[in-house]
A and B are shown apart, each in its own frame.
Chain A
Amino acid sequence: MTVTAKARPVRLPGGMSLRIERRALAVGALLVLAAFVMAVLLIGTGDFDIAPWDVVQTLLGNGTPADDFIVNDLRLPRVLVALLVGAALGMAGAVFQSVTRNPLGSPDLLGFSYGSAVGALVVIILLKGSATEVAAGALLGGLLAGAAVYLLAYKRGIHGYRLVLVGIGASAMLLAAIQYLITKAQLVEASRAMVWLTGSLAGRDWAQVWPLLATCAVLFPLVLGQSRALRMIEMGDDAAYAVGVRVERTRLLLMLAAILLTTAASAAAGPISFVALAAPQLARRLTGSPGANLLSAALMGSVVLLLSDWASQRAFGADQLPVGVVTGLVGGVYLLWLLVTERKAGRI
């Protein structure tokens, strides 16, 4: 078994076999554990601190009525939104980085997040809509921006570098639109817009959880089902065609799914920056296996966002920071480091 020292085949009756990399499996298990621990800590954190053990008991339905209200009605939805938004952003980022063959190819930098922001701001400032309408606006804006970037970058197929360049151009224009909208806004709407733009998990309830959960339940299996084809595409379009991948179709499907995941995340929590950029790279360094590690990236996204949310509540005491500020701070440092190492490696 020297051939596949890293990937251990699991053979099932009926000629079925799965290929599982041991280290990726171990990392995945660790990340699930970390996400669970962070979730419990986060549920216990707030104006009324609850001990971790009581949190677990309450989640299992054995808590006091007061704990039950705080845990299941107030804090669990927020933590679930964080889990799902983090996973959606992590997976979407992994897809985009793989498709563009570029660690900078994340939805933050490709303009989709700004598209969501323009959509949300149009609803907040021009239409003065409700929270649900804002979410719908974010969804629509993200999808339109995604479609526009895809079509502008399309020329006999999609090529990574062109997609990144078109995305950066689109980001600049959308940013201008955001600034224009804010200058047009009244004070109340402007501050509401700024809160949305920062990305926050505060006050999220079950109404945000269900649509996000449904989106993830459909798109996660779909994206994971294409992960082997995605690995082939990483070797170049010709090599992928040669082994029988319908490259353009697979890529379109995956990009569409990734845009939907990003915009669903934005609709639920605002444009939380840098999770999609950093999570796939962190996951890759942990698993040590080449290419897109979609599942590890999703789990890493959840852990990063939960950690950031916990930090935003703990580190800054009473005046809690929106979680987007924390991910922005951490992610900015990460982006600088990435630019420096990529520059040293001669890739940019």
Chain B
Amino acid sequence: MNLRSAQVQRLTAENVTLGYDQRVIAENLSVEIPDNSFTVIVGPNACGKSTLLRALSRMLKPSQGRVLLDGQAIGSLPAKKVAKTLGLLPQSSIAPDGITVADLVSRGRYPHQGLLRQWSHEDERIVTESMASTGVAELADRAVDELSGGQRQRVWIAMALAQQTPLLLLDEPTTYLDIQHQIDVLDLCAELHETQGRTLVAVLHDLNHAARYATHLIAMRGGKVIAEGPPQEVVTAELVEKVFGLRCQVIDDPETGTPLVIPAARRSRAQAAAEV
């Protein structure tokens, strides 16, 4: 169940200790993101999954250990160079008042630009492509504030795409979205992974979404990786109970054949508790 091999992956965390101020969230944590995978990190609240993603995207500096991008410590690399390899969709970003979709997406070109190279033909082409592949091309001249939550998330993803990074990290990209927009965004991620060959790493709350879309799953609890591998191997009733403390059945998703977690009914959970 381990994908680790002799081959070195582009993005890895080596024995990192992560935390904020004095509070340690994860200790001695090692993770490899398999190249060309759609990796999803799952786990209960406060398990350290978002913290791990922040460390992988260099937002959070490990107090010990290091995060390696192409074999080099990510904190020691020039900021713009990292930004050409590794993109991030943060959990909350602010669209400046009145900015148009095209203008926002074009900001993703920042790491490729300089004071004397502010807008090349390539920038133009890539921004157009990014908007087309996220389905926001027809919104190009609309103000971002006027859009729905789902459309806005697509615009932010388009901006991250315009950065043209082989690696893209997404921090809870479906939070605050309606169910149809959640699926919409995840379908878009799967498409980017399949058709453009990008390596995606996402933190998701919904285990069933993770099981359906991920090619590689990392399950965390208490700052430790409990299991990792393809969802078919990782998502079992036993593991869900271990990681989330939830009794459940795991069946095949009738749509995709991937594992589908059905939480046990209240009565059977109560009975189980009484028996213990």
Contact B97 A235 (CB under 8 A): no
What residues of B have a CB within 8 angstroms of the CB of A2 in the complex? 102, 140-141
* A-contact 0/1 string along B91-128, CB 8 Å cutoff: 11111111110111011101101011111100010011
Bound Cα distance from A3 to B21, whole angstroms: 44
What residues of A have a CB within 8 angstroms of the CB of B8 in the complex? none
- Nearest residue in A to B128 (C-beta to C-beta)? A3
Bound Cα distance from A7 to B84, whole angstroms: 24
Mark the stretch among A14-22, A24-32, A130-138 that contacts chain B.
A14-22
Contact B83 A243 (CB under 8 A): yes
Contact B124 A9 (CB under 8 A): yes
Most buried by B among A15, A234, A239: A239
On whether A3 and B108 interact (CB within 8 A), knowing A244-B83, A244-B84, the answer reads no
Mark the stretch among A70-78, A162-170, A225-233 that contacts chain B.
A225-233
- Let me know if B261 is at the binding interface, CB within 8 A: no
What residues of B have a CB within 8 angstroms of the CB of A15 in the complex? 117, 120
- Let me know if A291 is at the binding interface, CB within 8 A: yes
- Let me know if B59 is at the binding interface, CB within 8 A: yes
* B-contact 0/1 string along A233-263, CB 8 Å cutoff: 0111011011111100000000000000000
What residues of B have a CB within 8 angstroms of the CB of A16 in the complex? 116-117
Contact B93 A238 (CB under 8 A): yes
Interface residues of A in 14-52 (CB under 8 A from B): 15-19
What residues of A have a CB within 8 angstroms of the CB of B140 in the complex? 2-3
Contact B115 A6 (CB under 8 A): no
- Let me know if B25 is at the binding interface, CB within 8 A: no
What residues of B have a CB within 8 angstroms of the CB of A65 in the complex? none
Point out the residue from B83, B116, B119 that lies within 8 Å of A7, measured CB to CB.
B119
- Let me know if A101 is at the binding interface, CB within 8 A: yes
What residues of A have a CB within 8 angstroms of the CB of B20 in the complex? 156
* A-contact 0/1 string along B64-98, CB 8 Å cutoff: 00000000000000011111100111111111111
Bound Cα distance from A317 to B58, whole angstroms: 62
Shortest A248–chain B CB gap in Å is: 11
- Nearest residue in A to B168 (C-beta to C-beta)? A242
- Nearest residue in A to B80 (C-beta to C-beta)? A244
Contact A244 B111 (CB under 8 A): yes
Interface residues of B in 141-161 (CB under 8 A from A): 141, 160
Contact A242 B87 (CB under 8 A): yes
- Nearest residue in B to A8 (C-beta to C-beta)? B119
Contact B88 A238 (CB under 8 A): yes
Contact B92 A9 (CB under 8 A): no
Bound Cα distance from A31 to B104, whole angstroms: 27
Shortest A124–chain B CB gap in Å is: 42
- Let me know if B51 is at the binding interface, CB within 8 A: no
On whether A242 and B99 interact (CB within 8 A), knowing A15-B117, A17-B118, the answer reads no
Contact B163 A243 (CB under 8 A): yes
Shortest A221–chain B CB gap in Å is: 11
What residues of B have a CB within 8 angstroms of the CB of A241 in the complex? 57-59, 79, 88
Point out the residue from A101, A243, A246 that lies within 8 Å of B107, measured CB to CB.
A243
Contact A245 B119 (CB under 8 A): no
- Let me know if A5 is at the binding interface, CB within 8 A: yes
On whether A236 and B94 interact (CB within 8 A), knowing A3-B124, A6-B100, A242-B88, the answer reads yes
Contact A243 B111 (CB under 8 A): yes
Shortest A6–chain B CB gap in Å is: 7
- Nearest residue in B to A3 (C-beta to C-beta)? B102
- Let me know if A346 is at the binding interface, CB within 8 A: no
Contact B90 A242 (CB under 8 A): yes
Shortest A104–chain B CB gap in Å is: 15
What residues of A have a CB within 8 angstroms of the CB of B104 in the complex? 235
Shortest B142–chain A CB gap in Å is: 12
Shortest A348–chain B CB gap in Å is: 14
What residues of A have a CB within 8 angstroms of the CB of B91 in the complex? 238
Bound Cα distance from A1 to B115, whole angstroms: 22
Most buried by A among B20, B102, B103: B103
What residues of B have a CB within 8 angstroms of the CB of A246 in the complex? 79
Contact A236 B90 (CB under 8 A): yes
What residues of B have a CB within 8 angstroms of the CB of A7 in the complex? 103, 119
- What residues make up the interface of A, taking CB atoms closer than 8 Å to B? 1-7, 9, 11, 15-19, 101, 156, 225, 228, 231-232, 234-236, 238-239, 241-246, 288-291
Q: List 26 A-B contacts (CB under 8 A).
A: A3-B106, A3-B131, A3-B140, A4-B102, A7-B103, A9-B118, A9-B119, A9-B124, A15-B117, A17-B118, A17-B119, A231-B96, A234-B96, A235-B94, A236-B93, A238-B59, A238-B92, A242-B83, A242-B89, A243-B108, A244-B80, A244-B82, A244-B83, A244-B110, A244-B111, A288-B98
Closest 4 interchain pairs by CB? Answer: A244-B83, A238-B90, A244-B80, A242-B88
Given contacts A16-B117, A241-B57, A290-B103, could you give 10 more A-B pairs where the C-beta distance is less than 8 Å?
A3-B124, A3-B128, A4-B106, A5-B102, A236-B90, A242-B88, A242-B163, A244-B82, A290-B97, A290-B98
